[in-house]
Amino acid sequence: MKDEGKVDLLYLVEEATEDALYETAGTIAEICENNGAVGSVIAEDSKQQRNLLDIRSAIYEVYKPVFVDSLDTAVPVANIGDLLKEFDAIAEKYGTTTPRFGHVADGNFHNFILMVDGKVPEWADDMRRDIYKAAIKYGGTITAEHGTGKTRKPYMNLQYTPHVLGIMKSIKKAFDPNNILNPGVIIDLDN
């Protein structure tokens, strides 16, 4: 029988000694297996470690040809489980999946909204909004490490009130009165 699981978790562990490192890694593996993990792998040398990190780094490129958007939500670590369950419910609502990877230690998840038959589905923006609302519901943000920029700008009102956005605009105007630093990104002084 082939071992299958729903999620792969990659832990990076640092310790002062090699013995402490193996003890910690073993404890993590035991906790995972006691909670339903199919199996555990401990990368014992730098080549095995690099291979695992390369797999993680390649995820974006694997999905890039078939995704509409790669979201960048984050929540407090204590709310990760609830958020992931909600992501699954949102995907089910739209009859799709939302593959994801992230940085569990800081609650940051990259969710993919996938194309359907090579096209952007009509519901893509609705799904995007539902994912953002879920992150906010669990005390998080609509964007984490990648910032807001032009891509997330239309959704800032999901997270911030008009008053807070006005304060941001005032700060931008105070430090950049000529609107030369990233004009049109996040805050528009022209509107």
* DSSP state string for 85-128: HHHHHHHHHTTS---EEEEGGGTEEEEEEEPBTTB--TTHHHHH
Tens digit of pLDDT for each residue in 75-106? 998 998 899 899 999 999 999 999 988 887 77
Render pLDDT for 44-76 as a digit per residue (tens, 0 to 9).
888 988 888 888 888 888 899 999 998 889 999
Which pLDDT score is estimated for 3? Answer: 57
Does a structural domain hold residue 25?
no
Q: Which structural domain, as residue segments, surrounds residue 115?
A: 43-159
Q: What is the CATH number of the domain that holds 145?
A: 3.30.70.2740
Distance CA 144, CA 109 (A): 9
Q: Is residue 180 part of a domain?
A: no
Q: How many domains, the chain?
A: 1
Joined together, the tokens standing for residue 147 give 């910032």
Share of the chain above pLDDT 70, in %: 97
pTM of the predicted structure, to 2 decimals: 0.81
Q: Helices 80-93 and 124-137 meet at what angle, rounded to 10?
A: 160
In a domain, 188, yes or no: no
Would you say residue 71 lies in a domain? yes
Asked if the structure places residue 147 within a domain, the reply is yes
Confirm whether 148 is domain-assigned: yes
More confident residue, 125 or 37: 125
**Cα 81 to Cα 15, 21, 63, 78, 143, distances in angstroms:** 27, 27, 23, 8, 18
